[in-house]
Amino acid sequence: MSEGTTTPPLRPPAPAPAQPGPRRGHIPLFGPLLALLALLLFNIFFTPNFLTAQTLNVNLTQVATTVIVGVGMTLVIATAGIDLSVGALMAIAGALAPMLFLNPPLGSPGLGVALAFVLPVLAAGAFGLFNGMLVTRFMIQPFIATLVLFIAGRGIAQVLTNGQLQTFSNKSFQVIGLGRPFGIPVQVILMLVVVALFTWVMARTVFGRQILAVGGNERAARLSGVPVNRVKLAVYGISGLLSGIAGLIVISINSSSDANQVGLNMELDAIAAVAVGGTALTGGRATIVGTLLGALIIQLIRYSLLARGVPDAAALVVKAGIILLAVYVQRQRR
Amino acid sequence: MSLAQSPPTGTSVRNARMVSALQRYGVLIALGLLILFGTLRYENFLSPYNVTTVLAYNSMFGLIALGMAFVIITGGIDLSVGSVAAFASVVAALLSPHGLWVALIGAVGAAALLGLINGAIIAYLKILPFITTLAMLLAARGLALMLSGNQSVSADYDHGFTTLGQGTIFGVPYIAVLLFVAFAIGAVVLRYTRFGRRVLAIGGNEEASRLMGLPVERTLLSVYTLSGALAGLAGVILASQFGAGQPTEGLGWELTAIAAVVVGGTLLTGGMGSIGSTLVGVLLLGVIFNVLNFENGRGTISLTVYWQSVIRGAFLLLVVILQNRLTRSRTAP
């Protein structure tokens, strides 16, 4: 509560907390790596058939969407924001795509598929920009601003599809979820590309430094000439785009699009991945690779539970516990 | 941005107060106009059946909004209310063969416990309220699904459990009476008790409250427990009204509650708020959907049920934007 999200407007501005100099931007990945190793070893010894290509594939394909969305979430959280709408944006992209390739414009199936890859992602990106606009221009707290689409976004997806399940079988579209070049699932390749790209962005580009500056101390960033509003708009836009891509992956794996289900609880998975990976929820620090590790850890915990016959509902409770634990550990480290 | 950067002054305090008051009257006038519109346009709008149906249906949202108002006045938020209500509806349905009181006390108690856990994590572990309660949203849903075996649980009809949700006194549903009584108590508590003062003080400035020696942690604990208990009560009403515990119900209820609280002039940043206007906010939202239903019935518009969440979202958005514009004060990210 003393952390800023709830700072009343009437309170005099508190002096900015001093940034720890040498650790700025640098996050030890030791903890997450150790946890991941421990989980891997546990499963290798105690889960039958764990070390098979199939198990590896199952886990990686399941984690890919969380990682892709988690990367966008990492950027948003690095600016001291949050994006609760990611799951709903996945549902919107997932609702739009089948409409395009099932009723291709100009009767050209090729064009329909091409548009189905592009337009839904752009639409999700536009909704992301809308979030960003609420946060920057209207100065609404990020969690309230994105709470609007968290609920209304899924509603929009349901209105678009009239709540109907859209089923389909379209080889060229479903490449994004079912394609296996060299035996590697396409979404895993996408995931690695996204992780590599944004690791580079955060480490080597001005934009990356600006994101950290905005999250570290917004006033100072503004005074030193960082275009704070543009940076924030961009991160929410990117989060939207990445959610859109994740939405397409989910529906092509399922061969169907259900506006009630696509991306459900994704915001929690993504936030958990970010927190477990070591990015502070208070902003100013970010690690993309950490988010990848965080998502893998959560996926492995879920897999370990399911492999032991723990019901999915109980796994939800465990996941809630992990999120809180990770955030708590974060707080202690500061 | 220059406005955002200006340091808070006495003017902005007065400004916020004025906006809060303005909004309180504004929402009351809006409700009055909407009811007038409905009365003139639809024959059965003020019929006892329609009025009691609207009140009965909105009693669940009202109770949740009451708890949410206290939480928001402390500067926090409770996103878990919808799934806590669903959890409580399952507990109540499971306990319903033992009679209404056992089910009521058991379910409200279980939900209050979840609220207590929220409060403990927020107050003592200092984790942000929206993260904590988002995690609880997940956990409570998981618990509800586990207890119910992933399906809705029929409530027992023979031992009086459904009286609460379906019974009436002089034609007024019990739950509507319950709603008004709860809000009356809530208003008195916020205004005239030490606890109410503390809630307002903490929302105004948590640090200063602590320095003044107020029991900040204990108050936060109570506020989130209260929110959990009221969500639990809403869950019991859900099970009692519809005769089943529904583990997947309650989606988006937090948004309705937050919208009702905010439209009533309570600032999302805490420290200021009104219980009475929260009730007006709940009724305004309820009447808006009632009017839309009437229009749907007339065929002027045809909105599917899926529009509900879009409209709720748009409503919240509008209110928050208006409030931010009017107060012209910076809300920290």
In a domain, B11, yes or no: no
A315 touches chain B (CB under 8 A): yes
What distance in Å separates residue B178's CA from the closest CA in chain A? 28
Among A6, A81, A135, the residue with its CB nearest the CB of B75 is A6
Phi, psi at B13, each rounded to 5° = -65, -50
Q: Where are the beta strands (DSSP E) in chain B?
A: 153-154, 168-169, 172-173, 244-245
Chain B partners within 8 Å of A84 (Cβ): 134
Q: In terms of CA atoms, which chain A residue is nearest residue B75?
A: A6
- For B17-156, list the strands marked E by DSSP: 153-154
What's the structural domain count of chain B?
Answer: 1
B12, part of any domain = no
**Amino acid found at B100:** L
B160 belongs to a structural domain: yes
H/E stretch holding A2: none
Instruction: Answer whether residue B333 shows pLDDT above 70.
Output: no
User: Quick check: is B123 in a domain?
Assistant: yes
Q: Measure the CA–CA gap between B93 and A227, rounded to whole angstroms.
A: 55
Q: Is the pLDDT of residue B327 over 80?
A: no
Q: What pLDDT, on a 0 to 100 scale, did the predictor assign at position A14?
A: 46
Distance spanning both ends of chain B, measured CA to CA: 14
The DSSP call for residue A106 is: G
At which residue do the structure tokens 């009140």 appear? B55
Per-residue pLDDT of chain A (334 residues; tens, 9 = 90+): 344 444 444 444 444 444 444 444 455 677 788 888 888 888 888 877 787 888 888 888 889 999 999 999 999 999 999 999 999 999 999 999 998 888 877 777 788 888 889 999 999 999 999 999 999 988 888 988 998 898 889 999 999 988 888 888 888 888 888 888 888 889 999 999 999 999 999 999 999 999 999 998 888 999 988 899 999 999 999 999 999 999 999 999 988 888 888 988 898 889 889 988 888 888 888 899 999 999 999 899 888 888 888 888 888 888 888 888 888 877 766 5
Q: Which residue of B has its CA nearest to A139?
A: B331
Query: Nearest Cβ partner of A8 from B138, B203, B254?
Result: B203
CB contact under 8 A, A327 and B8: no
Asked if A313's CB is within 8 angstroms of B142's CB, the reply is yes
Question: What DSSP designation does B169 have?
Answer: E
Answer yes or no: do B127 and A311 touch at CB < 8 A: no
Q: Which pLDDT belongs to residue B12?
A: 61
Altogether, the residues listed in chain B come to a count of: 333
A21 to chain B, any CB pair closer than 8 A? The answer is: no
Residues of A in contact with B135 (CB under 8 A): 268, 320-321, 323-324
Surface of A (152-191) touching B: CB under 8 A: 152-156, 158-159, 162-163
| pLDDT recorded at residue B168 | 82
| Average pLDDT estimate for B185-194 | 93
Evaluate if residue B331 carries a pLDDT over 70.
Answer: no
Residue contact A1–B142, C-beta within 8 A: no
CB-CB neighbors (< 8 A) of B130 in chain A:
5, 82, 143
Please compute the mean of the pLDDT values over residues B254-283 and round it to a whole number.
Answer: 86
- A332 CB contacts (<8 Å, ≥6 apart)? none
C-alpha B12/C-alpha B14 separation (Å) is: 5
Number of C-alpha atoms within 13 angstroms, CB side, residue A52?
A: 7
Residue B307 has pLDDT above 90, yes or no: no
Is residue B76, in this structure, part of any structural domain at all?
Answer: yes
ipTM of the complex, rounded to two decimals? 0.77
Domain presence at residue B1: no
Residue A31's CB: how many other CB atoms inside 10 A?
A: 17
Whether residue B332 is contained in a domain is answered as no
Best of A2, A134, A147 to substitute, by most chain B Cβ atoms within 10 angstroms, is A147
| A26 vs A216: CA distance, rounded Å | 13
Domain CATH for B265: 1.10.3470
Residue B125, domain extent: 21-327
In chain A, which residue's Cα lies nearest the Cα of B322? Answer: A138
CB < 8 Å to B255, chain A: 147-148, 150-151
Q: Is residue B4 part of a domain?
A: no
Please report residues of B whose CB lies closer than 8 A to that of A270: none
Give the CA radius of gyration of chain A: 20
Angstroms from B83 CA to nearest CA on chain A: 12
The answer to whether A260 faces chain B, any CB pair under 8 Å, is no
| Extended beta strands in B62-165, E state | 153-154
Q: Could you give the C-alpha distances from B226 to B68, B71, B153, B196, B220, in angstroms and in order? A: 9, 9, 26, 13, 10
- β partners of residue B173: B168
Alpha carbons within 13 angstroms on the beta-carbon side of residue A61 total: 21
- Chain B CB contacts of A10 below 8 Å: 8, 12-13, 16, 204-205, 271, 329
